[in-house]
Structure 1
Amino acid sequence: MSQTFHSIPVRAAISLVALATVMAASNACAQQAGGASNSAAGPGEIVVTAQRRSESSQKVAIALTAVSGDQLQEKAVLVQRDLQNIAPGLSIVKAGLTESVNIRGIGLASGSPQVANGVASYVDGLFQPPIAQSFDLYDIQNIEVLRGPQGTLVGSNSTGGAIFINTKRPELGKLGGDMNAEYGSYNNVRLNGAINVPVSDTLALRFATNQHWRDSYYTDRGPYKNQPDSLKEHDERLSALYKSGGFSAYWKAELSQKSTGGYAYQPIAGTQFAAGREASRYTVNYDTATANFERAFTTALELKYQTPGGLVIRSLSGYQNKRIWNVYDVDATNQSVAPGPFGPQTQDQYVREREISQEVNIISPDSKAFNYILGGYYQHNKIDVLLHFNGTAPFPIVVNPMNSKTTLGFFAQANYRLSDKFEIQAGARYSHYHVDGTGAVYLGGTPPAAFLTIPQTGTEADGRMTGKLALNYKPDSNNLIYVFAARGYKPGGINPPGGLFNPETVWDFEAGWKTSFLDRHVRTQLGVFYNKYNNFQMDVISPLSGQNGVVNLANATIKGFEGQVQARLAGFGLDAGVSYVDSGLSSVSVINKWQPGAANAQLPACTTSVTSNCFAYQIISSNAGPNLLSPKWTWNAALDYTFQIGDERSVVPRISYSYTGSQWAYVTYLPQYDLIHARHLVNASITLNWGRWKAEAYATNLTKEFFVTGQSTLNEFYNAPREFGVRLGVKL
C-alpha cells in the first residue's frame, strides 16, 4: 500500500495548477473578499442548521459552540481533534484506530466495533463511522458542536452531543475561489484551494483540494527507522448545485487518503513493557515495521423542494466506504531492550466500514405561530475486521469479526409560539437498532491450522423512545432564556461469544441564557445541566475469550455549568469558554488489564489449572469515581487586536490559551496507569490582511508543553511539539 503515495506530489501539482489556471482566468470578474477587519462591528453571526433550519446560533435553544470556516485557521483548528481547544466540555483523546470523542463525559470510551459513538459526528449531514475521521478540515463553511443528548432530530447514538461539519457548497452566479499555501516546522507543507464555477443560471460546480505533507515528530531508534506520525495526505472534493424554482439538488463526492507511517506511542510507566520506554521525548524504539493507511470515499445527494406556501420536502442520501490498515508494534519497544514472553509483539489490522443512509424531512414554514419538522431515517453499516497477532502467545492469533448493523428512526418536532415572547417546543423520536455478528477468533492460525475457534456470532435488537420538551422565553431581540428536559439513547449490541450488552440511556435537564448587549458587540451563552446516565458501556477483557468485550458497568450522575463569550470592542476581539463537569460512576468490578500479559493474552480465563490455552486473570473492585474521559474543568480564551494601517490593510496579532483538566481513562482508577494529567496549550499568530491577500506567521504549543493525549491497551500517546510556520492565502 505504500506505493499509493508515490504519486501524491504529482496529484498535488495537477490539482493546484488546475486551480491556479482557472482562478487566474477568473480574476477579472471575481468578487473581492477577506479585506481588513471592521473593528467597529460586533462578532459576526454564525448561521447553523442543527435543527434542519438556517438560524443564528444565538437564537437556537441548545448549548452549542459554532465556528465559521474562516475562523478555523486563526483558532488553529486543522483537524476535528483541535475542536477541544475551543469548545468547552469537549474532550477528544487518541486511541489508535479511533479517537474517543466525549462531551460532558459522555461519548465513546471504547475502541470496539460493537460500540456506537455517543457523540455523533456528521459531515454535510452524513453520520461518520468512528474510523478514518482525522483527515484535515478544508473548504469548510462552519462547524457546530452541540452539547447534551440530541434525542429528536439527531440519530439514536447522540447521548453526549453531536458535531456537525458543513463544507462550502457551490454558489450560483459566482466565479471565484481561494488558494492557500503553508510551510512550517518539520517540513510541514500544506496546499489547498477551491474554485467555484457558474455553469449556467441554474447550475454551479465547486472543486476543492487539500495536499499535506509533514515529517515525523519522532525518531525511531529501532532497526526499521520508522517514521511514525509523519503525514502524507491528499483530499479532493467535487460538488454541484442545481436550482430551479422551488427545486434544488446538491451532490458531492469526496476522496480522502493518507499515510502516517504508523502511530507513535510509548509503554505506560510501570506496565509490562515499561523497561523499554525511551527517556528522550519524541523518541521511540520499535522492532516492527509500522504502518498506517486510511482511505475514505463519500458521496451524498440532497434533494429539496419548497412549495409556493413555504413547505419544504427534503431528501438526503449517502454512501461511505472507509478503510484503514495498520501494523503495530504492540509493546512499543525493541525486544532486545525489553523482551516479550513470546518474541516480538506485532499486530496487523485491517478494518473496513461501509455505510448507506437515507433521511427524509418535511419542514413547515416558520412564519406562523405553529411550525413542525417530520422525518424518517435509515442507516446500514457493514463492518469487517481482520487482526493478526504475533508474539502475544506461543501461536498466532487471528481475529475476524464481521458486523451488520441497521438503524431506523422516525421523529417529529413542533414549536408553538404562545405569544411574542413564549414558545413551547416538543419533539419525539423512536429508534430501532439491529446487529448481526459473524466470524470467529482463531487460535493457532486460520483453519485448518487453528486448534481453537471462538465464534463471534450473535444477534441483538433494541429500540427506545427519546425526545425533548422545552420552554423558550424571548423577552426582547437580544435575549433568549430556555429550559428543557431531553432523553438520549445509545444502542446495545453483541459481546461474543454468547453475550449481549444493553443500551445506554441518559436524561438531561438544562437551563440556559443567551444574550447580546453593548449594541451586540458582546454575546454570551450560559447554561447549567443535570444528567442521569444508565448502563454505561465499557470495554473490559472478556474472561470467555480474552478479547476486549463490552459490558454495562455502572450508572452515573453528571452535573455542571458552561459559559461562553464573544466580544469585539475598540479593535479588541475576545472569544472564551468554560465548562465545569462533576460526574460520578457507581462502584464496579473488572478484570485488571494492567496485570502482566492480560492485555495481550487473547485467551479464555482459566477455570481450574493454568494451561497454555487459558490465562489467570485478576479482578479489581473499585469504589465510585468520576466518569471516564471527563475532565472536571475545561476552559479556553483567545484575544486579538486589529491595527488598521491603511485602506483595506490591517495587522492582527492573536494569542490563545486552552486548559483541559485531568481525566480517567479506565475504571480501575489506578493513578499510575489510568490518570491522564491536565494539560495547557498556548498558540499565537500575527496576520497581515491586504485586500484579497492574507499572510500569517503562527506558532502552536508555544510553551513546548509535553503531555499525554490518550491511551490504547498498555501504551500512551503524546501531543505535537512546538511548531512555527507561515501561511499565504488569496481570495479571488
Structure 2
Amino acid sequence: MKFNRVAPWLASALLATTCLAAAPAFAADQPAGAENPDKDIVVTAQRRRENVQNVNIAVTALSGDALVDKKITRAIDLQTAAPGLTISRSGVTDSFNIRGIGLASGSPQVTNGVATYIDGVFQPPIVSNGQFYDMAGAEVLRGPQGTLSGANSTGGAVYLTTQRPKLGETSGYVSANYGNFNNVGVNGAINLPFGDKVAVRASGLFNQHDAWFKDVGPANNQVERLAEIDGRIQALYKSGGFQANVKVEATQRKTGGLALQPINTTVANNPYVVGRTNTPFTVSYDTPTSNFERAFATVLEMKYEFDGGLTLRSVSAYQNKRVYLVNDTDGTSLNPSNSTLVPTAGANNVREREYSQEINIISPDSGKLKYVLGAYAQRNKIDLRNWNTVNGNFSTLPQPITSKLLLGVFGQATYQLNDKLSVDAGLRYSRFEVNGAGAVYIAAPGVTLAQALSTSPPFVRAISQVGNEKDSRATGKVALNYKPDANNLIFAFVARGYKNGGINPPGGTFAPETVMDYELGWKSTLFNRHLRTQLGAFYMKYNNFQMDVINPASGQSGVVNLANSEIKGFEASFQSKFDALSIDGGLSYVDSSMSALTLVNKWAIPAGITFPQCSPAGTPGTVGSGCFNYVSTSTSGGSNLYSPKWTWNVSASYRIEAGDDIAITPRIGYAYVGSQWAYPTYQASTDLIPARGLWQGSITIDKGTWKAEVYGTNLANKFYVAGQSGKNELYGAPREYGVRVTKKF
C-alpha cells in the first residue's frame, strides 16, 4: 500500500525515538481502570482528583489501560463503553450526542453540544479522528457542564487525557500490531528525566491499512484506506509549588475517502438509488475520492500551589486543523449520458484555528468549603471553501468565512453542612459573538477545475455570507449530596445548560439552545469493594433545537431552531471483580419527544438542485429559471435526532495464572446502539438508522514487561449504517483482527 511519505517532521522523529524503548508505568495520580473496582477510579472533571463514587455527576471513567483492553482506539469508539453516548458519522464532522443532545448538524456555524477536551483544551467541531495512544484516560460526563471549566455545553462533556512526563523516571513502551487489511501499526513513548526538576516525554504513532471497501466503479478508489502518523512531545518543569507542562503535537491522516451510498429508498425520493451496489462493503464511484486531515496543537499549562493548598492554574492553547475531503456526492457511478442523473461530486476544504485561554483558582482539598473559580476566552476562525460539480462542471461554490468569540466566567462551590450532607452551587455567565463574511458563488455553465482555480474564475457572486449574531446566558447548578456512609452517595441536582446561536446567511440568525436538567443518582460500593454501581434518573427540557436543513433563500444547507423537546430516562452501570473474574457494563434508556415542526423536505428536491427559492413562488416542487420552488413538510414531532431509546454494553475478562510469571486473560465484549432518527421528516424508509450490536474480543498473554495479544473487533463482520449525510448513508468498519505485542520498561 502506498502512503504519504511527507509526514510532519516531529512525528517522524518521535517514532524513531520510541522504537528504542518500552511501556508507561502509570503514575498513582492517573485514573485506575474501571475494570478494577478494588482500586479507586479517579476523575479530574471537577479540577481536583476525586473518587468517581464521590462525584455527583453521571460519568463513565476509563483508564489508559482500559481504553486499550476495550479496543477504544478513537473517540467514536467511546460509545461502546459509555451508555447514553452516540457518535454518528456525518462527513467532515462526527455527531456527538448524549441523551439526544449534542450536534445534529455538519455546519461550521454550529457549536458542539457535547464539549470535547484533550488535555483540558476544548476541541472545535472539526475534530481530528486521530487514534488514541499513550493515553492516561477518558471521562464521559452526561448532562449540562460548564460551571467548572472551559466552554459551556448542553449535552455533556468528554475529557481525554494523554500521559504526562514523570519526574525522576526513565520509562516508556513500544507496541506493534499487524492485522487483516494489511493493518500495520506501531506506537510508543519514552520518558526521560533531566535532573530532579525537568522531564520530557516523547510519543508517536504510525498506522496504515488497505481499503475497507471495494470500489467496483470506474474511479477504482481505495475507500477508507488509511495512512496516519502522529507525534507528541511534552516537557514538565516543577520547582516548589510551581509547575509548567508544555505540549506540541502534530497529526496527519489520509484515507481513500468515505464509504457512502444513496439511502435505500424509492426512486421518487432519490433517483440515484438505482446506482446502489446492494452488496456489503462494496461501493461504486465515478469520482476520485479522498480525505486528508492535518492538525497542529500546542498547549501550555501552568500551576502554582501556595502554602495551604490554594492553586492558580492557567491553560493557554493554539490549534490549527485542516480537512480536505472529496466525495462522490451521489454515491454512484451512473451513466453520465442520463441527463437527469448526471454524476455529482463535492469537496470540502476547511481550516479552523482556535485560540483559547482558561484561568482557574482552585481551593485546597481540606476544609468545609471547596471551590473552583474560572474565566475562559476562545477565538475561532473558520475558512470554508466548498466545490460542487455536476457532470464534471462546477455548479455552486460556498465560501463562507467565520470568526467566533466566546467569553465566560464561572465558579462552583461545595459546602460540607455536616459529616453526611453537603450542598453544591455553581454559576456561569457566557457571552458569544460571531461575524460572517464571504459568499456562495454560482459558476457559469461549463466551468472546469482549471478555470475554478484560476485567478479570475468565471463565477457570479450569488448569496452573501455576511452576518453577525450576539447572545449571552447565565447558567448554573445546585446539588444536594447525602453520604450515609463511606460506601454510598445519594445526590439530586438541577442544572441549566446553554449552547450559543449563530448566523444563517443570507441575513438570518439562529437562537441559542438551552436545557434544564433534573437528576437523581445513587452510587454504591458493595461486597468489600468487589462491586461498584451507579444508578441515575433524569428529566430534561430542551429548547430551540438547532438543525441543519435546506435554506430556501440560498438553496444551501442552513441552521434553524426547529423545535423544543422533553427528555426523560435512566442510566445504570457497574464494575465488578471477584477473584480472577472481572465484569462491567452500562445501560441507558432515553425517551425523547420533539414538538411539532415544519421544514423544507429534502426528499422532494430533484437531483442536482441547489438553487434559491423562486420569487415570485410557483408550484411547490417545480423548477424555474435558475430557481426552485421548495416543498415544506410539517410533522407532529418525534424522538430527538441521534437519540436511541436503548444503548447498553457489557464486557468480561478472566485472568488465568499459568505459572512462570505468565498470565492469560481472555476478554469478550458486546455493545448495542438502538435505532435512531437522523432527519426530522421521520420517514422510516429514509431517516431511520437501524440498531446494531457489535462483538469484540481478545486473548492476552502477560509475562513480566511483555504482553502479546490476539484481538478482533466487529467479530460478526456486521455491515451497518453509522450515520447519514444529505441523501447518503455512511458505513462502519468491517471485522478487524490481528496480533499486538507490547514491551514495557
Question: Take 1:646 and 1:477, find their aligned partners in 2: how far apart are those partners?
Answer: 37
How do 1:312-323 and structure 2 match up within 5 A? 312-323=311-322
**Post-superposition shift, 1:217?**
0.9
Aligned counterpart for 1:237 among listed residues 232, 237, 259: 232
Question: How many pairs does the alignment contain?
Answer: 724
**Post-superposition shift, 1:394?**
7.7
Deviations 1:330-386 (A, max 9, x none): 101113289463732111220000000000001111200012111100000000000
**Post-superposition shift, 1:7?**
4.2
- Who is 1:549 aligned against? 558
Deviations 1:659-678 (A, max 9, x none): 11100001000000000011
Question: Take 2:729 and 2:271, find their aligned partners in 1: how far apart are those partners?
Answer: 13
- Who is 2:137 aligned against? 142
SS of alignment partner, residue 5 of structure 1: coil
Counterpart AA for 2:388: F
**Post-superposition shift, 1:40?**
13
SS of alignment partner, residue 396 of structure 1: strand
**Post-superposition shift, 1:388?**
1.2
Counterpart AA for 1:718: Y
Gaps of 5+ in 1: none
How do 1:10-25 and structure 2 match up within 5 A? 15-21=14-20, 23=21
Aligned counterpart for 1:679 among listed residues 685, 688, 692: 692
- Who is 1:352 aligned against? 351
Residues 64 and 552 of structure 1: is their aligned pair in 2 closer, same or farther, counting only changes over 3 Å? Answer: same
**Post-superposition shift, 1:48?**
1.4
Counterpart AA for 1:117: N
Residues 8 and 41 of structure 1: is their aligned pair in 2 closer, same or farther, counting only changes over 3 Å? Answer: closer
Question: Take 2:497 and 2:127, find their aligned partners in 1: how far apart are those partners?
Answer: 25
Length-normalised TM-score, structure 2: 0.94
Counterpart AA for 1:290: T
- Who is 2:115 aligned against? 120
Question: Take 2:578 and 2:422, find their aligned partners in 1: how far apart are those partners?
Answer: 33
- Who is 2:462 aligned against? 453
Deviations 1:515-565 (A, max 9, x none): 101110110000000000111111110010001111111000000000000
Aligned counterpart for 1:570 among listed residues 548, 559, 579: 579
- Who is 1:597 aligned against? 606
Q: Does the CA contact (< 8 Å) of 1:511 and 1:529 recur in 2?
A: yes
Q: Does the CA contact (< 8 Å) of 2:7 and 2:252 recur in 1?
A: no
**Post-superposition shift, 1:718?**
1.2
Q: Does the CA contact (< 8 Å) of 1:39 and 1:569 recur in 2?
A: no
Question: Take 2:106 and 2:392, find their aligned partners in 1: how far apart are those partners?
Answer: 22
RMSD: 2.4
Indicate whether 1:305 and 2:304 are aligned: yes
Counterpart AA for 2:435: D
Question: Take 1:39 and 1:380, find their aligned partners in 2: how far apart are those partners?
Answer: 36
Question: Take 1:85 and 1:525, find their aligned partners in 2: how far apart are those partners?
Answer: 17
**Post-superposition shift, 1:286?**
0.8
Q: Does the CA contact (< 8 Å) of 1:151 and 1:487 recur in 2?
A: no
Counterpart AA for 1:164: Y
Question: Take 2:393 and 2:324, find their aligned partners in 1: how far apart are those partners?
Answer: 25
SS of alignment partner, residue 318 of structure 2: strand
- Who is 1:644 aligned against? 657
Question: Take 1:404 and 1:484, find their aligned partners in 2: how far apart are those partners?
Answer: 35
Aligned counterpart for 1:661 among listed residues 670, 674, 679: 674
**Post-superposition shift, 1:132?**
3.7
Question: Take 1:597 and 1:39, find their aligned partners in 2: how far apart are those partners?
Answer: 51
Deviations 1:43-70 (A, max 9, x none): 4322211011111222111000000001
Counterpart AA for 2:503: I
- Who is 2:449 aligned against? none
Aligned counterpart for 1:218 among listed residues 213, 235, 238: 213
Q: Does the CA contact (< 8 Å) of 2:128 and 2:293 recur in 1?
A: no
Indicate whether 1:373 and 2:372 are aligned: yes
Counterpart AA for 2:225: S
SS of alignment partner, residue 164 of structure 2: coil
- Who is 1:621 aligned against? 634
Residues 434 and 33 of structure 1: is their aligned pair in 2 closer, same or farther, counting only changes over 3 Å? Answer: closer
How do 1:497-536 and structure 2 match up within 5 A? 497-536=506-545
Aligned counterpart for 1:186 among listed residues 181, 186, 208: 181
SS of alignment partner, residue 58 of structure 1: helix
Question: Take 2:106 and 2:555, find their aligned partners in 1: how far apart are those partners?
Answer: 16
Counterpart AA for 2:313: R
How do 1:353-502 and structure 2 match up within 5 A? 353-391=352-390, 396-444=395-443, 449-502=458-511
- Who is 1:266 aligned against? 261
Indicate whether 1:692 and 2:705 are aligned: yes
**Post-superposition shift, 1:151?**
3.4
Residues 483 and 396 of structure 1: is their aligned pair in 2 closer, same or farther, counting only changes over 3 Å? Answer: same
Q: Does the CA contact (< 8 Å) of 2:204 and 2:229 recur in 1?
A: yes
Residues 113 and 42 of structure 1: is their aligned pair in 2 closer, same or farther, counting only changes over 3 Å? Answer: closer
SS of alignment partner, residue 69 of structure 2: coil
Q: Does the CA contact (< 8 Å) of 2:387 and 2:396 recur in 1?
A: yes
Question: Take 1:689 and 1:300, find their aligned partners in 2: how far apart are those partners?
Answer: 35
Gaps of 5+ in 2: 445-451
Residues 570 and 337 of structure 1: is their aligned pair in 2 closer, same or farther, counting only changes over 3 Å? Answer: farther
Question: Take 2:6 and 2:198, find their aligned partners in 1: how far apart are those partners?
Answer: 33
**Post-superposition shift, 1:396?**
2.4
Length-normalised TM-score, structure 1: 0.95
**Post-superposition shift, 1:39?**
14
Counterpart AA for 1:79: R
Counterpart AA for 1:347: G
- Who is 1:335 aligned against? 334
* Higher deviation after alignment, 205-214 or 260-269: 260-269
Question: Take 1:73 and 1:140, find their aligned partners in 2: how far apart are those partners?
Answer: 9
Indicate whether 1:95 and 2:123 are aligned: no
Residues 203 and 613 of structure 1: is their aligned pair in 2 closer, same or farther, counting only changes over 3 Å? Answer: same
SS of alignment partner, residue 223 of structure 1: coil
Question: Take 2:666 and 2:370, find their aligned partners in 1: how far apart are those partners?
Answer: 45
Q: Does the CA contact (< 8 Å) of 1:156 and 1:489 recur in 2?
A: no
Q: Does the CA contact (< 8 Å) of 1:132 and 1:295 recur in 2?
A: no
Question: Take 1:40 and 1:530, find their aligned partners in 2: how far apart are those partners?
Answer: 29
Counterpart AA for 1:160: G
Counterpart AA for 1:705: K
Question: Take 1:266 and 1:342, find their aligned partners in 2: how far apart are those partners?
Answer: 15
**Post-superposition shift, 1:479?**
1.0
SS of alignment partner, residue 541 of structure 1: strand
Counterpart AA for 1:205: V
Counterpart AA for 2:353: R
Residues 600 and 227 of structure 1: is their aligned pair in 2 closer, same or farther, counting only changes over 3 Å? Answer: farther
**Post-superposition shift, 1:452?**
4.6
Aligned counterpart for 2:192 among listed residues 192, 197, 200: 197
**Post-superposition shift, 1:77?**
0.3
SS of alignment partner, residue 263 of structure 1: coil
Deviations 1:191-236 (A, max 9, x none): 0000000011000000000100011111111222111111000000
